[in-house]
Amino acid sequence: MNAVDLLFWLFAVLSVGGGLSMVFSRHPVSAAMFMIVSLVGVAALFVLLESFFLAILQVLVYAGAVMVLFLFIIMLLDVGPEAGKGKLSHFKTGIFGLLATVLLVG
């Protein structure tokens, strides 16, 4: 195993770990930060593929500009970990989800 293989596995685990952490994070700002980590890992994988232009675009456009807009909207809307909770019970949410699935399949 050479250095390029080791770097590939490091950045691949960083990208997938950042994505999973983003999905399972309860706080929206932390989820956005984990998404930035995942995007930087993907940019590093582009560097390993010697696609430097795509790596720079990944960091500047996605991790920079788009994520700043996401964070601005999250902070503007004051979305917290308890946002949207307490309005519907889990039973009603499950019934609505099942109904929507039956309608879409039908």
- For range 45-70, the mean pLDDT: 91
CATH of the domain at 61: 1.20.120.1200
How many Å apart are CA 51 and CA 53, to the nearest integer?
Answer: 6
pTM: 0.70
What are the pLDDT digits (tens) for 66-106? 888 888 888 888 766 665 555 557 777 788 888 888 888 88
How many CB atoms within 10 Å of residue 36?
Answer: 20
Give the chain's domain count.
1
CB atoms within 10 A of CB 40: 19
Give the domain extent around 18: 3-105
